[in-house]
Amino acid sequence: MHTLNIKDIIVLLLITVNIYSCKSAYDVPQAGPPGSRNYIWTADTLSPEGSFMFTNIWGSSPKNIWLVGTGTTEDVCLWHYNGNLWKSLNYLPSSNLNALSGVDSDFVWAGDIEGNLFKYDGSNWALNQKIITTGFDLRESIGLYFVSRSEGYCVGQNIKKETNYYEAYILKYNGSKWFPLDIGTNKCVFTSIKKHVKSGFFLISATEADSAHQEKLFLFDSYNNKLHEIYSGKEPPVLCEINNELYITMDSKIYKLGKNGQLELWKSFKWSTPYLTQANGMSESDFFGIGALGLMHYNGTDFVTIYKTNLMLFNMLVFSDAIFVCAVDPVTYKTVIIKGVKKQEGK
């Protein structure tokens, strides 16, 4: 069972967070013009009373962003950014929020470690549904993803406290309620789920917390509730989005999903740059990544560090004119939100 301390949450963030053309890969739009690197950077340190460690970030626009995490009290685990200030909100009866996602400003969801799924309707947060699996003590929500207002998925692990036994689960939302899918027994923890638009399948990242400790990636057929393991190894796969399409980063390399359902190498930066993981952005010539020296940017030609920092970088949220990066101060363990706003041309 996961214990909610700083070190475990940092490990969870590392496994959840978000080369050349292959003829057998699904067709994607051609890369656009080189992306701009002309940003104005600021950093906000969140300093609530008591401890807090973020777990996820989601937003509908640069002026409407939600942040969740785990902390000592309920009033420090939900944050909102209105375009000017970050503010903690005591709206949810949970101090252990892991999952977060949405569709629009009036359709946002969060999940915790006790099977609670909360919904925000644009005005208020409220408990929507609580699901506990028979024979288990906890249902920990780790990853949330919505295709639309009538189709959503939640992944994580079911836990037996006494024996520390755990197994993965998938919940599906049909527009009115959540229900578990019959996927058999999978002795691992599902950490994130995203849809591969071109194929219609989903990819699910996972980890085995036993002594062997294998990272995994599954192809999920939502029509038939079938899972197919396409990767198992020591390197954690991270599901990322470029121009609303799914990419996978692993071991300083970026992969696409091939038509045969296997990973195909798109670009490798393993030896040529300090790039480590993640690839999120507007196009294949305008995306951000996390490197050993800080935040990196690829413009179709080179991959360089554009924001140097000693902070530990994790989740990022990218808009056409702004980027938000969740970070942790390695000394104080405080959460820091790095914000970059693209400068307008001619200014």
Q: What is the pLDDT of residue 131?
A: 87
Question: How many residues does this entry show for the chain?
Answer: 347
Asked if 311 contacts 330 with a C-beta cutoff of 8 angstroms, the reply is yes
8-51 pLDDT, tens digit per residue, is: 444 444 444 542 223 344 444 445 678 899 999 999 999 887 78
Task: For 226-255, give one letter per residue: b (16+ CB within 10 A) or e.
Answer: ebeebbeeeebbbbbbbeebbbbbbebbbb
Q: What is the pLDDT of residue 11?
A: 43
The 10s digit of each residue's pLDDT in 275-286 is: 999 999 999 999
* pLDDT for residue 12: 46
pTM confidence score = 0.90
Secondary structure (3-state) at 338: strand
Q: Write a three-state SS string for 128-185.
A: EEECCCCCCCEEEEEEEEEEECCEEEEEEEEEECCCCEEEEEEEEECCCCEEECCCCC
* Residues 190/206, Cβ–Cβ less than 8 Å: yes
Average pLDDT over residues 144-163: 94
User: What's residue 346's pLDDT?
Assistant: 62
What is the number of other CB atoms lying within 10 angstroms of the CB of residue 308?
9
Match 């590392």 to its residue by tokens.
Answer: 14
Is-contact 286 38, C-beta < 8 A? Answer: no
> In whole angstroms, what is the distance from residue 138 CA to residue 96 CA?
12
pLDDT tens-digit map of 67-87:
999 988 888 899 999 999 999
- Exposure on the CB side of residue 242, measured as CA atoms within 13 A: 28
Average pLDDT over residues 315-337: 95
Give the pair of three-digit tokens for residue 89.
Answer: 């909100």
User: Encoding tokens for residue 336?
Assistant: 């820091």
Q: Where are the domains of the chain?
A: 6-18+39-241+323-342
User: What 3-state DSSP class applies to 71?
Assistant: strand
Mean pLDDT of 136-160: 94
Mean pLDDT of 242-253: 95
Contact 78, 68 (CB under 8 A): yes
CATH architecture of 6-18+39-241+323-342: 6 Propeller (2.120)
Q: Is 86 exposed, middle or buried (0-12, 13-18, 19+ CB in 10 A)?
A: middle
Q: Is the distance from CB of 143 to CB of 99 less than 8 angstroms?
A: yes
Q: Would you state the pLDDT for residue 52?
A: 85
Write the pLDDT tens digit of every residue in 199-232: 999 999 999 977 678 999 999 999 999 999 999 9
Query: Are residues 309 and 47 in contact, defined by beta-carbon separation less than 8 angstroms?
Result: no
Q: What is the rounded average pLDDT of the residues 126-135?
A: 88
Structure tokens at 169: 């689960």
Per-residue pLDDT at 4 exceeds 80: no
The DSSP secondary-structure symbol of 215 reads E
Tell me how far CA of residue 135 lies from CA of 5, 84, 139, 267, in angstroms.
26, 46, 11, 45
